Protein backbone atom coordinates (compact mmCIF):
# COMPACT_ATOMS: atom_id res chain seq x y z
CA UNK A 1 0.00 0.00 0.00
CA UNK A 2 1.10 3.58 -0.60
CA UNK A 3 2.31 5.27 2.59
CA UNK A 4 3.69 8.71 3.33
CA UNK A 5 6.18 9.07 6.16
CA UNK A 6 4.93 11.37 8.94
CA UNK A 7 8.49 12.36 9.75
CA UNK A 8 10.25 13.05 6.43
CA UNK A 9 7.41 12.96 3.91
CA UNK A 10 8.93 10.09 1.90
CA UNK A 11 6.34 8.14 -0.09
CA UNK A 12 6.77 4.43 -0.69
CA UNK A 13 4.94 1.23 -1.46
CA UNK A 14 4.73 -0.58 1.88
CA UNK A 15 4.96 -4.36 1.51
CA UNK A 16 5.62 -5.32 5.11
CA UNK A 17 3.68 -7.83 7.16
CA UNK A 18 2.50 -5.70 10.06
CA UNK A 19 -0.86 -4.04 9.64
CA UNK A 20 -0.26 -1.58 12.47
CA UNK A 21 3.27 -0.21 12.21
CA UNK A 22 5.57 0.60 9.29
CA UNK A 23 9.18 1.75 9.22
CA UNK A 24 10.11 4.44 6.74
CA UNK A 25 12.87 3.13 4.43
CA UNK A 26 14.23 6.66 4.12
CA UNK A 27 14.59 7.87 7.74
CA UNK A 28 13.84 4.71 9.78
CA UNK A 29 10.94 6.48 11.55
CA UNK A 30 8.41 4.07 12.95
CA UNK A 31 4.91 5.23 12.26
CA UNK A 32 1.42 3.92 12.81
CA UNK A 33 -0.31 2.86 9.62
CA UNK A 34 -3.32 5.14 9.16
CA UNK A 35 -6.62 3.28 9.41
CA UNK A 36 -7.86 4.62 6.08
CA UNK A 37 -4.90 3.25 4.15
CA UNK A 38 -6.15 0.47 1.94
CA UNK A 39 -4.93 -2.80 3.33
CA UNK A 40 -4.51 -5.31 0.54
CA UNK A 41 -5.40 -8.70 1.87
CA UNK A 42 -3.08 -11.04 -0.02
CA UNK A 43 -5.09 -14.01 1.08
CA UNK A 44 -8.21 -12.91 -0.75
CA UNK A 45 -6.37 -12.14 -4.00
CA UNK A 46 -4.57 -15.43 -4.09
CA UNK A 47 -7.80 -17.33 -3.46
CA UNK A 48 -9.30 -15.67 -6.54
CA UNK A 49 -6.36 -16.85 -8.60
CA UNK A 50 -6.42 -20.38 -7.18
CA UNK A 51 -10.16 -20.72 -7.80
CA UNK A 52 -9.57 -20.38 -11.53
CA UNK A 53 -7.04 -23.22 -11.75
CA UNK A 54 -7.61 -26.95 -11.28
CA UNK A 55 -5.72 -28.68 -8.47
CA UNK A 56 -3.12 -30.38 -10.65
CA UNK A 57 0.65 -29.98 -11.04
CA UNK A 58 0.34 -28.50 -14.54
CA UNK A 59 -1.44 -25.49 -13.01
CA UNK A 60 1.70 -24.48 -11.10
CA UNK A 61 3.34 -22.26 -13.71
CA UNK A 62 0.12 -20.46 -14.74
CA UNK A 63 -0.65 -19.82 -11.03
CA UNK A 64 2.84 -18.42 -10.44
CA UNK A 65 2.45 -16.19 -13.50
CA UNK A 66 -0.90 -14.83 -12.31
CA UNK A 67 0.51 -14.34 -8.81
CA UNK A 68 3.39 -12.32 -10.15
CA UNK A 69 1.00 -10.30 -12.32
CA UNK A 70 -1.00 -9.49 -9.18
CA UNK A 71 1.80 -8.74 -6.70
CA UNK A 72 4.69 -7.84 -8.98
CA UNK A 73 6.71 -10.70 -7.48
CA UNK A 74 6.21 -14.01 -5.66
CA UNK A 75 5.69 -13.22 -1.96
CA UNK A 76 6.75 -15.96 0.41
CA UNK A 77 3.43 -16.34 2.20
CA UNK A 78 1.63 -16.69 -1.11
CA UNK A 79 3.96 -19.50 -2.18
CA UNK A 80 3.06 -21.22 1.09
CA UNK A 81 -0.60 -20.97 0.18
CA UNK A 82 0.01 -22.29 -3.37
CA UNK A 83 1.91 -25.20 -1.85
CA UNK A 84 -1.11 -26.08 0.27
CA UNK A 85 -3.54 -25.75 -2.61
CA UNK A 86 -1.61 -27.91 -5.10
CA UNK A 87 -0.31 -30.27 -2.43
CA UNK A 88 3.25 -29.69 -3.63
CA UNK A 89 6.18 -29.09 -1.26
CA UNK A 90 7.43 -25.50 -1.20
CA UNK A 91 10.88 -26.72 -2.20
CA UNK A 92 9.38 -28.07 -5.42
CA UNK A 93 7.69 -24.72 -6.13
CA UNK A 94 10.93 -22.83 -5.54
CA UNK A 95 12.72 -25.37 -7.74
CA UNK A 96 10.38 -24.62 -10.63
CA UNK A 97 10.15 -20.88 -10.03
CA UNK A 98 13.91 -20.32 -9.87
CA UNK A 99 14.42 -22.28 -13.10
CA UNK A 100 12.53 -19.71 -15.15
CA UNK A 101 13.87 -16.22 -15.76
CA UNK A 102 10.43 -14.67 -15.49
CA UNK A 103 9.94 -15.12 -11.75
CA UNK A 104 11.11 -12.64 -9.11
CA UNK A 105 11.20 -13.00 -5.36
CA UNK A 106 11.50 -9.35 -4.49
CA UNK A 107 9.23 -6.42 -5.29
CA UNK A 108 10.19 -4.51 -8.39
CA UNK A 109 10.33 -0.82 -9.09
CA UNK A 110 7.42 1.15 -10.47
CA UNK A 111 8.88 0.94 -13.97
CA UNK A 112 10.75 -2.05 -15.32
CA UNK A 113 13.44 -1.18 -17.84
CA UNK A 114 14.49 -4.11 -20.03
CA UNK A 115 17.61 -3.68 -22.09
CA UNK A 116 17.61 -5.93 -25.13
CA UNK A 117 20.77 -7.95 -25.68
CA UNK A 118 19.65 -9.77 -28.82
CA UNK A 119 22.17 -10.33 -31.60
CA UNK A 120 21.09 -7.34 -33.65
CA UNK A 121 21.11 -5.08 -30.58
CA UNK A 122 24.49 -6.45 -29.57
CA UNK A 123 26.15 -5.58 -32.87
CA UNK A 124 24.44 -2.20 -32.86
CA UNK A 125 25.74 -1.12 -29.48
CA UNK A 126 23.60 -2.58 -26.68
CA UNK A 127 26.62 -2.46 -24.37
CA UNK A 128 26.88 1.30 -24.80
CA UNK A 129 23.16 1.67 -24.11
CA UNK A 130 23.57 -0.47 -20.98
CA UNK A 131 26.39 1.78 -19.78
CA UNK A 132 24.26 4.86 -20.34
CA UNK A 133 21.20 3.44 -18.59
CA UNK A 134 23.16 2.07 -15.62
CA UNK A 135 24.93 5.37 -15.36
CA UNK A 136 21.72 7.42 -15.47
CA UNK A 137 19.91 5.27 -12.92
CA UNK A 138 23.03 4.66 -10.88
CA UNK A 139 22.31 0.94 -10.50
CA UNK A 140 23.51 -2.27 -12.13
CA UNK A 141 21.33 -4.61 -14.17
CA UNK A 142 19.14 -6.68 -11.88
CA UNK A 143 18.83 -3.92 -9.28
CA UNK A 144 16.13 -1.46 -8.28
CA UNK A 145 16.72 2.25 -7.66
CA UNK A 146 16.57 3.44 -4.04
CA UNK A 147 13.46 5.47 -4.71
CA UNK A 148 11.75 2.34 -6.01
CA UNK A 149 11.08 3.93 -9.36
CA UNK A 150 13.08 1.74 -11.76
CA UNK A 151 14.12 -1.89 -11.90
CA UNK A 152 16.71 -2.69 -14.52
CA UNK A 153 16.84 -6.04 -16.36
CA UNK A 154 18.91 -7.53 -19.16
CA UNK A 155 16.84 -9.57 -21.59
CA UNK A 156 17.89 -11.92 -24.36
CA UNK A 157 15.75 -10.56 -27.17
CA UNK A 158 12.63 -8.46 -27.45
CA UNK A 159 12.10 -9.37 -31.09
CA UNK A 160 12.18 -5.81 -32.49
CA UNK A 161 15.52 -6.49 -34.20
CA UNK A 162 15.04 -4.04 -37.04
CA UNK A 163 14.84 -1.18 -34.57
CA UNK A 164 18.03 -2.16 -32.72
CA UNK A 165 19.23 -1.13 -30.23
CA UNK A 166 16.03 -1.36 -28.21
CA UNK A 167 14.96 -0.96 -24.61
CA UNK A 168 11.51 -1.67 -23.24
CA UNK A 169 10.05 0.36 -20.41
CA UNK A 170 7.07 -1.52 -18.92
CA UNK A 171 5.23 -2.62 -22.09
CA UNK A 172 6.53 0.04 -24.46
CA UNK A 173 9.52 -0.57 -26.69
CA UNK A 174 11.83 2.30 -27.63
CA UNK A 175 14.00 1.68 -30.68
CA UNK A 176 16.84 3.12 -32.76
CA UNK A 177 18.47 4.37 -29.57
CA UNK A 178 21.69 6.20 -28.93
CA UNK A 179 23.07 6.73 -25.44
CA UNK A 180 21.62 10.20 -25.50
CA UNK A 181 18.15 9.03 -26.60
CA UNK A 182 18.14 6.28 -23.97
CA UNK A 183 18.76 8.88 -21.27
CA UNK A 184 15.96 11.05 -22.63
CA UNK A 185 13.54 8.12 -22.53
CA UNK A 186 14.32 7.51 -18.85
CA UNK A 187 14.03 11.19 -18.00
CA UNK A 188 10.58 11.21 -19.56
CA UNK A 189 9.44 8.43 -17.23
CA UNK A 190 11.03 10.14 -14.26
CA UNK A 191 9.24 13.33 -15.23
CA UNK A 192 5.88 11.56 -15.33
CA UNK A 193 6.22 10.58 -11.71
CA UNK A 194 7.18 13.90 -10.20
Partner 1 sequence: MSAEKRVRVGYASCGIAAGASEIYDELMDTLEGKDVDPQVDKVGCMGMCHNEPIVEIDDENGRYTYGNLEVEDVENLVEDHLIEHVPYEDKLITGPEEEYDYFSNQRKVVLRNSGEINPESIEEYMDAEGYEALEKALDMDPQEIIDTIKESNLRGRGGAGFPTGMKWQFAKDAKGDEKYIICNADEGDPGAFMDRSVLEGDPHAVLEGMIIGAYATGASKGYIYCRAEYPVALKRLDIGIKRAREKGFLGEDILDSGFSFDIEIKEGAGAFVCGEETALMHSIEGERGMPRPRPPFPAQQGLFDKPTNINNVETWANVPWILRNGAEEFSSMGTDESGGTKVFALAGKVKRGGLVEVPIGTTLREVIFDVGGGIEEDKEFKAVQLGGPSGGCLPKEYLDTPVDYETLTDAGAIMGSGGMVVMNEDDCMVNVAQYFLDFTQEESCGKCTFCRVGTKRLLEMLDSFSKGEGSSEDIEKLKEMADKIKKHSLCGLGQTAPNPVLTTLRYFEDEYETHLEEQTCEAGVCRDLITYTITNSCVSCGTCVEECPSDAISEGEEKYVIDQEICIQCGACEEACPIDAIEVE
Q: Which residues bind partner 1 (CB under 8 A)?
A: 56-62, 64-65, 95-96, 99-103, 117-120, 122-125, 128, 131-132, 135, 155-164, 166, 171-176, 178-180
Closer Cβ to partner 1, 33 or 120, answer by number: 120
Q: Determine the straight-line distance between the first and last CA of the chain, rounded to whole angstroms.
A: 19
Would you say 130 and 154 are in contact if contact means Cβ atoms under 8 Å apart?
Answer: yes
CB of 79 to partner 1, least distance (A): 14
CB of 98 to partner 1, least distance (A): 9
Closer Cβ to partner 1, 24 or 116, answer by number: 116
Closer Cβ to partner 1, 7 or 176, answer by number: 176
Closer Cβ to partner 1, 10 or 183, answer by number: 183
CB of 70 to partner 1, least distance (A): 15
Distance CA 120, CA 117 (A): 8
CB atoms within 10 A of CB 131: 13
The DSSP string of 73-123 is: S--HHHHHHHHHHHT--HHHHHHHHHHSTT--SS---SEEEEEE--HHHHH
CB of 17 to partner 1, least distance (A): 27
Amino acid sequence: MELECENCGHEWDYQGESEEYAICPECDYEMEIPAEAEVIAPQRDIEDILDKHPKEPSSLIPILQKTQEQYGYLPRDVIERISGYLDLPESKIYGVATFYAQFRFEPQGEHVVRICHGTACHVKGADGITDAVEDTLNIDSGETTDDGMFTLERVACLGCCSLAPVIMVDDTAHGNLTREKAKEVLEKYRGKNT
